[in-house]
Amino acid sequence: MPGLWGPAYDDSAMINKVYPSPQAALDGLIRDGLTLMVGGFGLCGIPEKLILALRDSGARNLTAISNNAGVDDWGLGLLLQTRQIRKMVSTYVGENDEFARQFLAGELEIEFVPQGTFAERIRAGGAGIPAFFTRTAVGTPLAEGKEHHDFDGQTYVMERWLKADVSLVKAWKADTVGNLVYRRTARNFNPMMAMAGRVTVAEVEEIVPVGSIDPDSVHTPGIFVDRIVKTVSEKRIEQRTTTPRA
């Protein structure tokens, strides 16, 4: 069948990035001491089955760069329970009691980053920019010890890029060459993390043939994605808030 955007493609002749299971998608990538990026905001847009596979790999001493730490029994919270994470780089971790316990006991290292700086450090890591300057956090404890510089009469603080050995991201749709489309606010940090991983694995809800995603609609071009796995997402909700029907 001809593709929507150009001549007929033979998928079988292309490099196929699709793996049959989350375990297979992580095969050969995971070892102790890795730095990982894990997409998501709260439990929204997390690569939930890749996280389970990461837990089952048994890898320890991991550094996890992720906006939050999941909740006690889902998302990255699962890897805290098993003590596989040594350090978190996050913006907010308020939803996780086990996190609090390990942090207060000195078992877990944490680097708090303002959320915009977090997003930009990851983007910079993917874009080959080792550092940048921002007004955010100037005059606060999070800027202490960092280089400052004045531009046009304003003081800015220098922030370094963030990069990962492996990035685990969640998208809605992929084609077999790794072009990704995200859905609603499940996009969050996933596109930057896909760029900033030496290897990027995408967990998706649907895999479509090459040519069936309009190139204008691709959110993450396939160059940033190495492996794809299709799963059935549970999509747990942290705060189910509703409006009663009148």
Partner 1 sequence: MPLTRDQITKRAAQELHDGFYVNLGIGMPTLVANHVPAGMQVWLQSENGLLGMGRFPYDDEVDADLINAGKQTVTAVPGASFFDGATSFAMIRGGHIDMAILGAMEISEEGDIANWMVPGKMVKGVGGAMDLVAGVKRVVVTMEHTTRKGEPKIIKSCTLPLTGKACIDMIITELCVMHRRERNGRRRFEVTELAPGVTRADVERATAAEIWWSPELKTIQT
Q: Which residues bind partner 1 (CB under 8 A)?
A: 41-45, 67, 90-95, 100, 103-104, 112-120, 122-123, 134-142, 172, 182-192, 219, 235-245
4: Cβ–Cβ under 8 A, 6 or more apart, which residues? 211, 212, 214
Q: Which is nearer to partner 1, 12 or 239 (CB)?
A: 239
Q: How far is the CB of 99 from partner 1 (least distance, A)?
A: 9
Q: Which is nearer to partner 1, 157 or 210 (CB)?
A: 157
Q: How far is the CB of 43 from partner 1 (least distance, A)?
A: 8
Residue with token string 């292309």 = 14
Q: How far is the CB of 139 from partner 1 (least distance, A)?
A: 4
Q: Nearest 5 degrees, angle CA 24-CA 171-CA 87?
A: 70
CA distances from 157 to 91, 120, 124, 146, 148 (A): 17, 13, 15, 7, 4
Q: How far is the CB of 209 from partner 1 (least distance, A)?
A: 23
119: helix, coil or strand?
A: helix
DSSP β-bridge partners for residue 164: 197
Phi, psi of 193 (to 5 degrees): -65, -35
Closest among 91, 72, 92 to 82, alpha carbons compared: 72
Q: Which is nearer to partner 1, 60 or 87 (CB)?
A: 87
Q: How far is the CB of 4 from partner 1 (least distance, A)?
A: 23
Q: Which is nearer to partner 1, 19 or 172 (CB)?
A: 172
Q: Which is nearer to partner 1, 163 or 187 (CB)?
A: 187
d(C-alpha 215, C-alpha 201), whole Å = 21
Q: Which is nearer to partner 1, 29 or 113 (CB)?
A: 113
Contact 207, 231 (CB under 8 A): no
Q: How far is the CB of 85 from partner 1 (least distance, A)?
A: 16
